[in-house]
Amino acid sequence: MSLAPARVPRVPAPRTARRRPVTFLVVPAFVLALACVAALALGARSVAPATTLDTLGAFLTGAGAAPGDIDAAAVLSRIPRTVTAVLVGAALAVSGVALQGATRNPLGDSGLLGLTAGASLAVAVGLGVGLPSGLATAVVLAILGTVLAAVVVYAVAATASRLGAGTDSAPGPLSLVLAGAAVTAGCTAATSALLILSPAVLERFRFWTVGSVARTSLEDAAWLAPVIAAGILLVLAAAPGLDALALGDELAHGLGSRPERLRLTLLGATVLLTAAATALAGPVVFVGLLVPHALRRFRPASTRVLVLGCALWGAVLLVAADLAGRLVIAPQEIHVGVTTVLIGVPVLLVLLRRKAVSL
């Protein structure tokens, strides 16, 4: 008689559990593909889906469009703004995940830490001193403004934490939020004062202050795409530590995590993503706030899956917002910064109402 322990049969994971991460990513990828085709086909001049796909295939292979083909020209003219919408939507949604995790604040958004306000102030100052109003100038100024705002917020929060704790501890989530609110208020007031005192600056700045994906080129998007990719990769690398960080710094330390380094990594990734998105499309709000809240209701399998899902659904949201802005009052259009708010506010209110009911 054998005394060897009986083998415990391995219970396979439920099929739904194995499919869940795949479904969580495949569905938005499919929706994004449909949204991009619709964005290329529809507008002031609508184009048949078959013609749209043929033109897109010719563009990707470098064949170009035949001279005088109006439909193909319409599709080609919409490619830069569609690519920009995908990049900006993904960047803002992932930055929202990073900020909400770094600050442990459900209201985390690129405007929370004064990053968008810093970029706007830098552009306004640049225009005020007579710099060219082209996109290249706006890109450089937005990046500089975002970086400077992040440095000021971190320094102020670190000083406040040091004075409060009496040690050289890193800034906590509450200090970051309060410092970000102060920097946002200061940058917004300075921008408003500059625009009021200088009507010439206001005339040049008003075309940039409303978020839009219509003024960028493929070269601009290609220039900033690696920056956005680097920011998303940083958030993905730090994603496993977000669950520990949500338990608090002390518990995170006990679990072997390093909250200070993790929070600094997330803030650095947020700076990259926000600077690139603001430089491409101007200040666009609600994407980083809305998308992570909506996706968390579906309980993603892991934080990395949540980050990738936010990137895809953020791109879907901005492509759909841009398309809606072009169709509502065609041939005129509403900028994506406005349509994003019009779409985001009702959805966010519905999410808040359902959460209140569930509580």
Query: Which pLDDT belongs to residue 16?
Result: 43
Task: Specify the pLDDT at position 88.
Answer: 94
Domains of the chain, earliest start first = 26-35+79-358 (1.10.3470.10)
pLDDT of residue 110: 76
SS (H, E, C) 292-316: HHHHHCCCCCCHHHHHHHHHHHHHH
Number of H helices, E strands in the chain: 13, 0
- Greatest mean pLDDT among 16-25, 36-45, 57-66, 119-128: 36-45
Q: Is the model's pLDDT at 329 over the cut of 50? A: yes
Share the mean pLDDT of the chain. Answer: 80
Q: What is the pLDDT of residue 354?
A: 64
DSSP 164-177: HHSS-PPP-HHHHH
Spatial contact of 170 and 161, defined as CB atoms under 8 Å apart: yes
Tokens of 173: 């989530």
Q: What is the mean pLDDT of residues 287-291?
A: 87
> Distance (Å, rounded) from C-alpha 288 to C-alpha 90?
9
* Torsion 343-345-350-355 (CA) sign: positive
Say how far apart CA 349 and CA 346 lie, in whole Å.
5
pLDDT in tens, 28-49: 999 999 999 999 999 888 888 8
What local confidence, expressed as pLDDT, does residue 138 receive? 76
Determine what percent of the chain is predicted with pLDDT higher than 70: 79
Q: At residue 105, what are phi and psi to the nearest 5 degrees?
A: -130, 120
Reported as a single tens digit per residue, the pLDDT across 168-226 is 556 666 777 788 888 888 998 988 888 888 777 776 666 666 778 887 888 888 888 99
State residue 231's pLDDT score. 93
